[in-house]
Structures are given as structure tokens and as C-alpha cells.
């Protein structure tokens, strides 16, 4: 019989074992809970990460505290497509760089990669990349520009912390004081108002809420903020797109004085000539640096390519001659065989040393408008035309002029002067309050403006769109019509949402040209086109036999195609006596910017 004592002992053992098991289970459950928490934390972290569609690699070779940047072994990939492969990027303090390259080569992607610090750029260098217009809010335009003053507060805190260090903050503190001086708060409002005025904002407009401005004007406010912030690295992508000629002249003069690092993408050769000290050319997945402005770059590049082509031809002739000699005498007499072997060694040495590559010319697109023949004048006549969106706020008063098929007119004047309104009066989209617009019975007018791109069905391909717009035409005929504007092969049949803005502009040109207009009205046709495409457009317009009225902020295009300059201002349209470069000089002196 088991004693009570042993029973008691067994019960204690059982209880201890149960407690042990319970402890293990509790530990296991707490372990599970903590690992679940860690997994949730990781999942949330991954959710917060913005997955980029770019992959960038590069090695910073300049000193981490230097104000100059040199990145080697630079490669940029976009959606798995190589844009830059094993190249170098050099940005020196005090230099202004123009970034050039054909549409779709990756200029904007490179700017975004720099702006997002996906390249190894030292932390002490602040970067501002102008990407979008200012948000619509109840802030006034002036307040929106000054509101970036949070940087000053941050810098003051950093300065205090550095000053308290044993070494007194050293060079880092000096840099902060320099930056605080650059964004001097006491003169902030005055500087912001000056910048806004230069970009076309009068006193009343500066006090207006940002939500009451259109997208184009909010883009100007964002540009004003970028200039006001005066960052170490300023990145601008097509800054002149939303500006009139006066604001372009002011911006050019302002950026000429930018003393830090500026990288700008622009399709305006005239603007690049005025602003840039260096040009970076993106071609064949490499970045090539040139000293000087756009014109100097063109000259240097032409000379280098000519020398490269001479070298290439000479080397190819040498190689062909040696190979022929080796083939003929390699197995001949001992003396000839020795000479053949010697030539073989020379050939191998040349190949090891690196041969000159054949010059690859940029693929230049050719635009073609179909000639339309003549119509007897007057083709389009304004007779005592008065117009205003309300009778008490007139834009034009008693306009009298005619446009014929040999007219090549550029309309200039500040934003809001009524240039686009005048084009709408020509097409009949707007009717005058008084007077009349007479059009020839057989006159066909086609108008290009930026809002046409919004009417494209981006799910359709360019070919499908043209077939829908011009039913009853064969597919081959439509293909040829699009091909005239540089879209071929895959680009014709892929959804238009996958085309670049420049390629979509070409679809619009193809659509307009197929109507075979006698008169082309072009409202800012160069936005989203690269320099080479703009030159092709100018060439096509010069060879075409129809009439043209152009509104553009691109001085060079106006210079290439316009025979007359008409100034829209003070409710009138007056002819400018002189060319567009005289008019530019007039704008500079009017703004007090002339030398």
C-alpha cells in the first residue's frame, strides 16, 4: 500500500511537470506573437517603400565634402531598358549644364534619378527638381513662394548644434551660414515679389489664391519657388514650356547669373545659348561633356565627328590592305610569309589599342506637309473686328488685316494679350462682337494646340486613331500618313499611352496634315519636341506652299519660319518692323535687362 507521503510527493511532481509544460506553451505563444508583430512591421515597411521603375548604379569619385560631383561607372535602367551604360557624370559648382538628346533617350529619367538621390550625391548638397505645378490652395502666389522658409528654421537649428561642438562646427558651419545668407529672411518677400514679377505676375496676381490660377500659371509659381530657394543643385525640365517670350527673356537673364549647379533640359536652342556654360549630350547610352553653349557644342561636335570619320576610314583602309596582303602572301616564300606575319602582328596591335568607331548620326525625322495649290486672295480677311469675352472687357477693337497663302506670320505678345483668341477668331470657334471675318469658300484651316493631345484616345494605337478619324481609307494609306511624321513600325500599332509626349505630338501633326489644309494655325507646336524634330518641322513648313500663323516661345523657330512679326497688345495687332531677334532685344531693354 502506497503511503500518504509518497502520494503527496507524486502529486507535487505532477503539478511541477504541468507548470513546466504551461511555461513552455506560454513562451512559445509569446514567441509566436512577437514574430507575428515583426512580420507585420516588415510588411508595413515594404508597403511604405515606393518601388522605383528606375535602377541606378554609380560610384562617387569626388571628395564627399567637395562642391563638385564626379560619378563614374554610371548606369541607369528604366523598366529593364538600358538608358545609360557605364558612363561618367561630372557636375562642377558654378557651371550651368544643358542636357541634350533625342526624344525618349532618358533625359527626364536622369534628372529624376538625380532629384530623388538615386545617384551617390553628397548629403550636404541640397537638390531642387522642378517636376510639377504648385498645389492649388488658399495661399496667395507670393505666400506659396515664401512658404519654403522651413529650410531656414532647419538650418538655424543645425547651426546651433554645430556651434556647440568642440571644433566649433568647422567647414560645415561655414556652409550653413553661407546658405542662411543666400535665403536671407529679411529680404524674402521683396526677392519673391521680384521673381514673380519677372515671370509675369503683377501686384494683383501675386495676391491671388493659387487655386484661382490655371495649371500653366501654377507651374510659373513653382518655377518662382525654385529660383527663390536658390538650391545647390537646380534641375529644370523644359522650364520655358509655360512662358511667353517676355518671361523667357527674363528667365534666361536670371539663370545666366545662377552661381551654383544648374542642369536644364530645353528644346529652345536660343535659351540654351544664353544660359549654358556646358552641354551634356546623351547618345548611344553614354554621356559626353562639351564646353561652351549650344552653338559651340554644335561646332565642336561636328569637328570631332569629322576627325573621327577620317580616322575610321584610314584605319579601315589599312586593315583591308593588310588582310589582303596576309591572304595573298601568308603561305608564299619565306620572305613574303615573314612580312605577312609582321602585318598580322601590326593588325592585332591596332585592334588591341582600340579602333575608331564609325560615326553614328542622330536619326533625324523628316516631316512632310502635302502641297495644296493656290487659292485667289483674300483667303482670310478681318473687317473692323471687335471682340471681348464680355462687351465691357474688350480684347480687340477694330481689327483690319488679311491673311493669304503666302503669309508666314508669328504672333507675339504677353500671356493674356489674346494670341490664342485671335487664332480662334480665324477658325470661327469664336464670333466677333462687331465687324466680320471673311473666309474663302474653299479654305481649309487646321489648328494645332496643346489641348489636342487631351482628345487622343490613349488606349488606341496611332493607326487605329487615324482609321477612326478618317473612315473608308485603306490601312496602308493611313500608315503612310503617320510615317510622314516619323512614326513607323511598332510605334504605329502600340497603345498611344506608351508613346512619349513628343511622339503623340507627331500623331496630331499627321492627323492635321491629312486634312490637307491651306492654312496652318500653330499654337506652341514645339512643346515636347526635341531640337532635331523642331528643325525638321521648320524645314517642312518652309517647303510647304500653304499659309501659316504661329504662336511660339521659341525664338529660333520663329526666326526660321516667320516672315512677319505681329504684336498683339493694347486691343490691337500691329506689325513689328524688324526680325524676332530685334524684338527680343526690345523685350530685354523694356525689362531693364540690356547690357
- 426 and 520 belong to one structural domain: yes
Q: Residue 575 above 70 pLDDT?
A: yes
Q: Is residue 428 part of a domain?
A: yes
Mean pLDDT of 323-335: 78
The region that residue 363 occupies, defined by phi over 0 for left and psi between -120 and 50 for alpha, beta otherwise, is beta
Q: Is residue 321 part of a domain?
A: yes
Mean pLDDT of 35-56: 56
Q: Residue 455 above 60 pLDDT?
A: yes
Q: Residue 409 above 80 pLDDT?
A: yes
How far apart, in whole angstroms, are the C-alpha atoms of residue 102 and residue 433?
46
Confidence at residue 346, expressed as pLDDT on a 0 to 100 scale: 85
Q: Residue 286 above 80 pLDDT?
A: yes
Confidence at residue 48, expressed as pLDDT on a 0 to 100 scale: 45
Tens digit of pLDDT for each residue in 350-372?
A: 888 778 888 877 666 677 888 88
How far apart, in whole angstroms, are the C-alpha atoms of residue 524 and residue 258?
27
Q: Residue 307 — pLDDT band, cuts 50, 70, 90?
A: very high
Q: Residue 316 above 50 pLDDT?
A: yes
Q: Residue 432 above 90 pLDDT?
A: yes
Confidence at residue 49, expressed as pLDDT on a 0 to 100 scale: 47
Confidence at residue 233, expressed as pLDDT on a 0 to 100 scale: 94
- 311 and 178 belong to one structural domain: no
Q: Residue 19 — pLDDT band, cuts 50, 70, 90?
A: low
Confidence at residue 46, expressed as pLDDT on a 0 to 100 scale: 44
- 174 and 213 belong to one structural domain: yes
- 576 and 430 belong to one structural domain: yes
Q: Is residue 459 part of a domain?
A: no
- 309 and 422 belong to one structural domain: no
Q: Is 90 helix (H, G, I), strand (E, B) or coil?
A: strand
Q: Residue 323 above 90 pLDDT?
A: no
How far apart, in whole angstroms, are the C-alpha atoms of residue 255 and residue 190?
18
Tens digit of pLDDT for each residue in 486-503?
A: 787 888 888 888 887 778
If one compares 440 and 42, the residue with the highest pLDDT of the two is: 440
Confidence at residue 595, expressed as pLDDT on a 0 to 100 scale: 58
- 385 and 340 belong to one structural domain: no
Confidence at residue 4, expressed as pLDDT on a 0 to 100 scale: 56
Q: Residue 1 above 50 pLDDT?
A: no
Choose the most confident range, by mean pLDDT, from 42-56, 213-227, 375-389, 493-507.
Answer: 375-389
Average pLDDT, rounded, for the chain? 84
Which domain-ending residue is among 183, 199, 229? Answer: 229
Q: Residue 28 — pLDDT band, cuts 50, 70, 90?
A: very low
How far apart, in whole angstroms, are the C-alpha atoms of residue 148 and residue 142?
11
Q: Quick one: which of 116, 143, 146, 118 has its CA closest to 131?
A: 116
Q: Is residue 451 part of a domain?
A: no
Mean pLDDT of 525-544: 86
Q: Is residue 532 part of a domain?
A: yes
Which domain-ending residue is among 198, 229, 260? Answer: 229
Q: Is residue 281 part of a domain?
A: no
Least confidently predicted of 79-93, 270-284, 333-347, 571-585? 333-347
Tens digit of pLDDT for each residue in 414-423?
A: 877 889 899 9
If one compares 325 and 42, the residue with the highest pLDDT of the two is: 325
Grid cell digits, residue 258: 545662377
**Domain residues for 142?**
132-229
Sign of the four-CA dihedral 491, 495, 498, 499: positive
Q: Quick one: which of 345, 420, 340, 435 has its CA closest to 381?
A: 435
Confidence at residue 111, expressed as pLDDT on a 0 to 100 scale: 92
CA distances from 287 to 129, 130, 565 (A): 20, 22, 39
Spell out where 225-330 has E strands. 233-237, 261-265, 278-283, 286-291
Q: Quick one: which of 554, 550, 553 has its CA closest to 563?
A: 550
Q: Print the SS3 string covering 47-72.
A: HHCCCCCEEEEEEECCCCCCCCEEEE
Q: Is residue 333 part of a domain?
A: yes
- 194 and 143 belong to one structural domain: yes
If one compares 376 and 401, the residue with the highest pLDDT of the two is: 401
Spell out where 440-533 has E strands. 445-448, 519-523
Mean pLDDT of 328-357: 80
- 324 and 215 belong to one structural domain: no
Backbone φ, ψ for residue 282 (5° rounding): -95, 115
Tens digit of pLDDT for each residue in 121-170?
A: 998 888 999 888 888 888 899 888 887 666 666 777 888 888 888 777 77
How far apart, in whole angstroms, are the C-alpha atoms of residue 25 and residue 21?
6
Grid cell digits, residue 325: 596582303
Confidence at residue 533, expressed as pLDDT on a 0 to 100 scale: 83
Q: Quick one: which of 547, 574, 545, 572 has its CA closest to 562?
A: 547
Which domain-ending residue is among 183, 211, 229? Answer: 229
Confidence at residue 281, expressed as pLDDT on a 0 to 100 scale: 94
If one compares 372 and 43, the residue with the highest pLDDT of the two is: 372
- 312 and 188 belong to one structural domain: no
Cis bond upstream, residue 378 (ω within 30):
yes
- 386 and 436 belong to one structural domain: yes
Confidence at residue 490, expressed as pLDDT on a 0 to 100 scale: 83
Q: Residue 43 above 50 pLDDT?
A: no
CATH label of the domain that carries residue 578? 3.40.50.300
Mean pLDDT of 332-342: 79
Tens digit of pLDDT for each residue in 199-227?
A: 888 889 999 988 888 777 888 898 998 88
- 539 and 437 belong to one structural domain: yes
Mean pLDDT of 541-566: 92
Backbone φ, ψ for residue 89 (5° rounding): -130, 125
How many independent structural domains does the chain possess? 3
DSSP 484: T
Q: Residue 538 above 50 pLDDT?
A: yes
Q: Residue 31 above 60 pLDDT?
A: no
Q: Is residue 217 part of a domain?
A: yes
- 335 and 388 belong to one structural domain: no
Query: Whole-model pTM?
Result: 0.78
Amino acid at each position: 500500500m502506497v503511503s500518504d507521503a509518497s502520494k503527496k510527493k507524486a502529486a507535487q511532481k505532477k503539478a511541477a511537470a504541468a507548470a513546466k509544460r504551461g511555461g513552455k506553451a506560454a513562451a512559445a505563444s509569446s514567441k509566436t506573437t512577437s514574430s507575428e508583430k515583426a512580420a507585420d512591421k516588415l510588411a508595413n515597411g515594404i508597403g511604405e517603400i515606393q518601388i522605383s521603375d528606375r535602377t541606378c548604379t554609380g560610384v562617387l569619385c569626388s571628395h564627399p565634402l567637395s562642391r563638385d560631383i564626379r560619378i563614374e561607372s554610371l548606369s541607369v535602367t528604366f523598366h529593364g531598358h538600358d538608358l545609360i551604360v557605364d558612363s561618367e557624370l561630372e557636375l562642377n559648382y558654378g557651371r550651368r549644364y544643358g542636357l541634350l538628346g533625342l526624344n525618349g533617350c532618358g533625359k527626364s529619367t536622369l534628372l529624376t534619378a538625380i532629384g530623388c538621390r538615386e545617384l551617390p550625391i553628397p548629403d550636404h548638397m541640397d537638390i531642387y527638381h522642378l517636376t510639377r505645378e504648385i498645389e492649388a490652395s488658399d495661399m496667395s502666389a507670393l505666400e506659396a513662394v515664401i512658404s519654403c522658409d522651413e529650410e531656414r528654421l532647419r538650418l538655424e537649428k543645425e547651426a546651433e548644434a554645430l556651434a556647440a561642438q568642440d571644433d566649433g562646427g568647422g567647414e560645415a558651419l561655414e556652409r550653413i551660414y553661407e546658405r542662411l545668407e543666400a535665403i536671407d529672411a529679411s529680404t524674402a518677400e521683396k526677392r519673391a515679389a521680384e521673381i514673380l514679377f519677372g515671370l509675369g505676375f503683377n501686384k494683383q496676381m501675386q495676391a491671388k489664391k493659387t487655386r484661382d490660377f490655371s495649371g500653366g500659371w501654377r507651374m510659373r509659381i513653382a518655377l518662382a519657388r525654385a529660383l527663390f530657394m536658390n538650391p545647390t543643385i537646380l534641375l529644370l525640365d523644359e522650364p520655358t514650356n509655360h512662358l511667353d517670350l517676355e518671361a523667357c527673356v527674363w528667365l534666361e537673364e536670371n539663370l545666366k547669373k545662377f552661381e551654383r549647379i544648374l542642369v536644364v533640359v530645353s528644346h529652345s536652342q536660343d535659351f540654351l545659348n544664353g544660359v549654358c556654360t556646358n552641354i551634356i549630350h546623351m547618345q548611344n547610352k553614354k554621356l559626353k561633356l562639351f564646353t561652351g553653349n549650344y552653338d559651340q557644342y554644335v561646332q565642336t561636335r561636328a569637328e570631332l565627328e569629322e576627325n573621327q570619320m577620317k580616322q575610321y576610314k584610314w584605319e579601315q583602309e589599312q586593315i583591308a590592305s593588310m588582310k589582303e596582303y596576309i591572304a595573298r602572301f601568308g603561305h608564299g616564300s619565306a620572305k613574303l610569309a615573314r612580312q605577312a606575319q609582321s602585318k598580322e602582328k601590326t593588325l592585332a596591335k591596332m585592334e588591341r589599342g582600340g579602333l575608331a568607331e564609325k560615326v553614328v548620326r542622330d536619326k533625324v525625322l523628316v516631316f512632310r506637309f502635302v502641297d495644296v495649290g493656290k487659292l485667289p486672295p483674300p483667303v482670310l480677311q478681318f473687317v473692323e473686328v471687335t471682340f471681348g469675352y464680355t462687351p465691357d472687357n474688350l480684347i480687340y477693337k477694330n481689327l483690319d488685316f488679311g491673311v493669304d497663302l503666302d503669309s508666314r506670320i508669328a504672333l507675339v505678345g504677353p500671356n493674356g494679350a489674346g494670341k490664342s483668341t485671335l487664332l480662334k477668331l480665324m477658325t470661327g470657334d469664336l464670333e466677333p462682337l462687331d465687324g466680320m471675318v471673311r473666309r474663302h469658300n474653299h479654305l481649309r484651316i487646321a489648328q494645332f494646340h496643346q489641348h489636342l493631345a487631351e482628345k487622343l484616345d490613349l488606349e488606341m494605337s496611332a493607326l487605329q486613331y487615324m482609321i477612326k478619324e478618317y473612315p473608308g481609307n485603306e490601312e496602308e494609306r493611313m500608315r503612310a500618313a503617320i510615317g510622314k511624321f516619323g512614326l513607323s513600325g511598332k510605334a504605329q500599332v502600340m497603345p498611344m499611352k506608351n508613346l512619349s509626349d513628343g511622339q503623340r505630338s507627331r500623331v496630331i501633326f499627321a492627323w492635321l496634315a491629312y486634312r490637307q489644309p491651306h492654312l496652318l494655325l500653330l499654337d506652341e507646336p514645339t512643346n515636347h519636341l526635341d531640337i532635331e524634330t523642331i528643325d525638321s518641322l521648320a524645314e517642312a513648313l518652309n517647303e510647304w506652299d500653304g499659309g501659316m500663323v504661329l504662336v511660339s516661345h521659341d525664338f529660333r523657330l520663329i526666326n526660321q519660319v516667320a516672315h512677319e512679326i505681329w504684336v498683339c497688345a493694347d486691343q490691337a495687332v500691329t506689325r513689328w518692323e524688324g526680325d524676332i531677334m530685334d524684338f527680343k532685344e526690345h523685350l530685354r531693354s523694356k525689362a531693364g535687362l540690356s547690357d
